[in-house]
Chains A and B, each alone.
Chain A
Amino acid sequence: MLRVKNLRKSYFMSEGAVPAVQGISFDIDEGVFLTLLGPSGCGKTTTLRCVAGLETPDSGEIYIGNEPVFLDGKGILVPPFRRGVGMVFQSYAIWPHMTVFENVAFPLVHGGFKAPKAQVKERVRKALELVGLAAQENRPAPFLSGGQQQRVSLARALVYEPKLLLLDEPLSNLDAKLREEMRLELRELVKRLKISTLYVTHDQEEALVLSDQIAVMSEGHILQKGSPREIYLDPRHPFVANFVGNANFIEGFVEPGKNGHPDFVVGTALGQMSCRLSSEIAKGERVSLVFRPEDVVIHTTAQSSRVNTFPGIIERLIFLGNRIYCEIRSGAFLLHGETNARTEIQQGANVFVEIPADYVRVLRAQ
């Protein structure tokens, strides 16, 4: 539905060029929900605006459907009003001089999706029902709550039934509770309408809940693309591991494995750790080991027989309600772990941490 190839965009200002997007590529198949996830300023909005046609890329290719809307070589640039995408802006961009109805009807009345008068009312009402705002139809736009404005914005994007929906952090201005509700509602809605969606957020949880596919961005690059499961469980890049969920990082060198042992051993500050290596990584290479706090098992008694088990002292405990977050010092290394909220555990206690070999990712050190 959407194909972006080698997209580049810099902004030119008096202080110099800002390379906002530096050659990114991705595809969205029919009906797929893809999220661009990344920290503030990594170029998510810029990418989205390039796709929408609001920003002219420096180079690259963009296809919507099978039609090119931007090809740098051939000088093709389809203006935004012909791209036929729906978009919800970070600020919602509800026009304050119009009512809810007029806002939603705009694309059908003045926009490029002209509909016969008789149909307009019908279709606007349908769109408003879709987002649960039918009752507020005649309300002037400024008299809406944040959540309602967000819904109007969505209804306006959906009323002309676009095949591609672009959403720029649509939930970031809502309070936590509403955000969670809207998150599910939104997913439900786009799935039902089978719209291909490009979603932008810096909230990893949102990305995990909503997406079919996630592309993690940093400083204008896409670092990894995959299903939420892949991204979370199999990060291919330390930044990805750290940005999506929490992670422990430890550096080391691959050492020759013992005979007949399936695992390799990596020498680290913690000591020798067994883990599964992909075939690309050779012996002697410098690597980063990545493992999640929730995969760390904390034992209060000695576990001499187990592998990857190291003694440590609890330096800090943070009670989070559904679990306890611990910082454990083992030698020079500070390790993050989590345990069940009901675990009886004290600060300063001597513990043994076990890091199951299956849950350790080995990444080539950067």
Chain B
Amino acid sequence: MEKVADVSLSSSGVQAAKSLREIISGNSIAVFFAWAACAVILLLTTLILWMSFSRGLPFESGFSPDNYAEVFGSEHFWTVVLNTVGVGLGTVAISIFFGVPLAWLLNRTDIPMRSLFITMLAVTVIMPGLVKAMGWIMLLSPQVGLLNRLVMGIFRLREAPFDINSLWGISFIQGLMLTPSMFFLISGPMRSLDSALEEAAEVVGANRLKIIVWITSPMLWPAILGGIIYIFMTAIAMFEVAGLLGGLSENRILATEIFLAVQPFEGSSEIKYGVAGVYGLLIMAPSLFALFFYFQSLKQAHRYAVITGKGYKPKDFPLGSLRYPAILFVLFYLALAVFLPFAVLLWASLLPSLRMPSVEALSLVSFKWYSEIHYLLGGFDVMRNTLLLVVGSSALVLFFSFMISWVVVRTKLRTRRLVDTISMLPHAIPGIGFAFALLIAGIMTAKWFPWVPFYNTVWIIIAGNVLNRLSYATRITNAALIQVQQELEDAALICGARKWVSMLRVMMPLIRPSLVFAGLWTALLVFREVSMALLLIGPKNKVLATQLWILWRQGDLSQASALSIVLILITGLLILVVQRATGKIGEPRSLPQLGGGG
């Protein structure tokens, strides 16, 4: 018993007490890192704004409105804006067309194989947007598109009936990509709709269609609106599809303009950082505005989720003989989103060059490209970079989101609301915006502190991905930490553990499933991220996703197809790991937060 007295009551304890005041009430480690993350977010956001007023690099040239004059005065300006809005709305339309009926069918009706379908929807992330776009180009391009040729053959047409290289094409593919996001965003509210209301309508004698139109839909509007805003924001910031389909010079949208302004390898002669800054701001502006509404709808989603938590089970709508068309509809979406592009990629990857399936073509099938996979993957450096990118990003995302959540959820600091809000900013700022800011930061670093290994290293891409995924992961860790009772943490402190020991030994293990889930999903989405990486790569920091892009741009369709298949297989493996580790795939509440498509 004497021992205890020594530990607890030694005079050093009392002396140290004053300086420790902050540590126990302030959780200084967490506060430090949370604010570090927030500071970076704010700095980069400011940098975008700064760049828009600067003709050269910051500090090297004064402020001027010239960039705005150049952008607004450009002959393309209104075309670009209209194209962007068009792509945004088109994407929203497609994702509503598929997402809303799917959400209703899979949540509120007695459709067979429901959970299998839900899992499959979640797993469509297996196919990155870039790959999806490649597949669809091979199906619907006017020159080589297999579907186009098929239709031309059947109807003896002279011209290709579809042109994927259009705003319609971009909207179509992005819509297919974001349908699962829409689906999961409205699934929660859809489930918790009070079926009593629907039944009440039925009692009054309304028929089923009327019930859906007049009762179900109005109640869902807030959730659908939230989904629309989210999809719109994501769609206008997405670069890879438009970049691939328009070849950067047709179908210009804001996201591709940023590229043209800063990436000389795509043929633009002059690097115009300031102009890119203006475009970045133009993408961000509606998003920041929309963020407000987005938060509102998220709040409501929360409210609904609480209801679901109480084991409330709505009645399923009996489909009757409509069951078969319903299943067909689900399969139709899955075919467009995954099966068809996958099939065409697989086919192309087995041939020397793309051609229609025929007996002759079959005789040409070989695994030639796969045997050259090492060359396709881009060699050891690319592999190492990719591994570092994926592992590093997930680890850092987890670390920072845990620290932020700690401050937000487990301290009583007055600044925690601010931390919460700032950490949500990346929701509104498109990845491409961050990538641009990082590019500038990278160039400045290389110039002024050449010894800092940042510009033209994997770390700059990692930084972009960490910022981009931080908000989503933070929401998961927030939810997890809220659920851990305060006394579990207190008990560790009472046992003499310091704050960081209790974090490490008690809190982290307690929320481990959520951390694993968030970490693996981050890994998956970082692995297939290409927009930011393209803006940030140089000769030394190529990764797999950009390698694929480069192969395609070089015109090696078959090789690019083979690499896509490999990419898909790796992603699939990762998904399997997630499923094994957490069993959470297809659990609707976890997915929209991750922004599966974005």
A binds B: yes
Can you list, as one digit per residue, whether each of B482-502 has a CB less than 8 Å from chain A (1) or not (0)? 000101101111111110010
A91 interface residue per 8 A CB criterion: yes
Q: Which residues of B contact A82 (CB under 8 A)?
A: 7-8, 13, 16-17, 496
Q: Which residues of B contact A97 (CB under 8 A)?
A: 509-510, 512
Q: Which residues of B contact A87 (CB under 8 A)?
A: 490-491, 494
Interface residues on B, range: 35 or more
Pairwise interchain contact A64-B488, C-beta atoms closer than 8 A: no
Contact of A161 among B3, B21, B24, B506 (CB under 8 A): B3
A156 interface residue per 8 A CB criterion: yes
Q: Which residues of B contact A93 (CB under 8 A)?
A: 485, 487-488, 490-491
Pairwise interchain contact A80-B490, C-beta atoms closer than 8 A: yes
B196 interface residue per 8 A CB criterion: no
Pairwise interchain contact B4-A163, C-beta atoms closer than 8 A: yes
Using CB atoms, name the residue of chain A closest to B496: A112
Q: Which residues of A contact B495 (CB under 8 A)?
A: 81, 106-107, 110-113, 156, 160
Pairwise interchain contact B14-A81, C-beta atoms closer than 8 A: no
Q: A64-B8, A67-B11, A89-B491 are in contact. Are A113 and B17 (CB under 8 A)?
A: no
Bound CA–CA A95/B502 (angstroms): 11
A90 interface residue per 8 A CB criterion: yes
Pairwise interchain contact B13-A78, C-beta atoms closer than 8 A: yes
Q: Which residues of B contact A54 (CB under 8 A)?
A: 490, 493-494
Please report whether the interface of chain B is mostly helix, strand, loop or mixed according to DSSP: helix
Contact of B7 among A53, A96, A112 (CB under 8 A): A112
Can you list, as one digit per residue, whether each of B229-251 has a CB less than 8 Å from chain A (1) or not (0)? 00000000000000000000000
Query: Could you tell me which A residues sit within 8 Å of B by CB distance?
Result: 49, 52-54, 56, 64-69, 75-87, 89-91, 93, 95-97, 106-107, 110-113, 156-157, 160-163
Q: How far is the CB of B162 from chain A (nearest CB, A)?
A: 55
B328 interface residue per 8 A CB criterion: no
Pairwise interchain contact A161-B4, C-beta atoms closer than 8 A: yes
Q: Which residues of A contact B510 (CB under 8 A)?
A: 95-97
Bound CA–CA A72/B5 (angstroms): 23
Q: How far is the CB of B494 from chain A (nearest CB, A)?
A: 4
Can you list, as one digit per residue, whether each of B501-515 has a CB less than 8 Å from chain A (1) or not (0)? 100011001101000
Bound CA–CA A105/B252 (angstroms): 64
The 5 A-B pairs with the shortest beta carbon distances in the complex, nearest first, are A84-B8, A112-B496, A111-B496, A107-B495, A93-B491
Pairwise interchain contact A84-B496, C-beta atoms closer than 8 A: yes
Q: Which residues of B contact A52 (CB under 8 A)?
A: 490, 494
Bound CA–CA A49/B491 (angstroms): 11
Pairwise interchain contact A77-B18, C-beta atoms closer than 8 A: yes
Q: Which residues of B contact A64 (CB under 8 A)?
A: 8-9
Contact of B501 among A77, A95, A110, A156 (CB under 8 A): A110
B373 interface residue per 8 A CB criterion: no
Pairwise interchain contact B505-A81, C-beta atoms closer than 8 A: no
Pairwise interchain contact A111-B497, C-beta atoms closer than 8 A: yes
Bound CA–CA A77/B41 (angstroms): 35
- Which residues 1-47 in B have Cβ within 8 Å of A in the complex? 1, 3-5, 7-9, 11, 13-14, 16-18, 20-21, 23-25
Q: Which residues of A contact B8 (CB under 8 A)?
A: 64-65, 82-85, 112, 162
Pairwise interchain contact A107-B18, C-beta atoms closer than 8 A: no
Bound CA–CA A157/B491 (angstroms): 9
Q: How far is the CB of A92 from chain B (nearest CB, A)?
A: 8
Pairwise interchain contact B14-A76, C-beta atoms closer than 8 A: yes
Q: How far is the CB of B202 from chain A (nearest CB, A)?
A: 43
Bound CA–CA A290/B495 (angstroms): 45
Bound CA–CA A81/B493 (angstroms): 5
Q: Which residues of B contact A96 (CB under 8 A)?
A: 510
Pairwise interchain contact B17-A95, C-beta atoms closer than 8 A: no
19 A-B pairs in the complex with CB atoms less than 8 angstroms apart: A52-B490, A53-B24, A54-B490, A67-B11, A67-B13, A84-B4, A84-B9, A87-B491, A93-B485, A95-B492, A97-B510, A106-B492, A107-B495, A110-B501, A113-B495, A113-B496, A156-B495, A161-B3, A163-B1
Q: Which residues of B contact A67 (CB under 8 A)?
A: 9, 11, 13-14
Pairwise interchain contact A77-B487, C-beta atoms closer than 8 A: no
Using CB atoms, name the residue of chain B closest to A96: B510
Pairwise interchain contact A95-B18, C-beta atoms closer than 8 A: no
Q: Which residues of A contact B14 (CB under 8 A)?
A: 67-69, 76, 78
Q: How far is the CB of B507 from chain A (nearest CB, A)?
A: 10
Pairwise interchain contact A81-B487, C-beta atoms closer than 8 A: no
Pairwise interchain contact B21-A77, C-beta atoms closer than 8 A: yes
Bound CA–CA A95/B505 (angstroms): 10
Bound CA–CA A95/B20 (angstroms): 26
Q: A77-B20, A93-B487, A95-B506 are in contact. Are A85 and B13 (CB under 8 A)?
A: no
User: By CB atoms of chain A within 10 A, which of B491, B494, B496, B498 has the most?
Assistant: B494
Pairwise interchain contact B4-A89, C-beta atoms closer than 8 A: no
Q: How far is the CB of B244 from chain A (nearest CB, A)?
A: 46
Pairwise interchain contact B491-A95, C-beta atoms closer than 8 A: yes
Q: How far is the CB of A60 from chain B (nearest CB, A)?
A: 15
Q: How far is the CB of A196 from chain B (nearest CB, A)?
A: 11
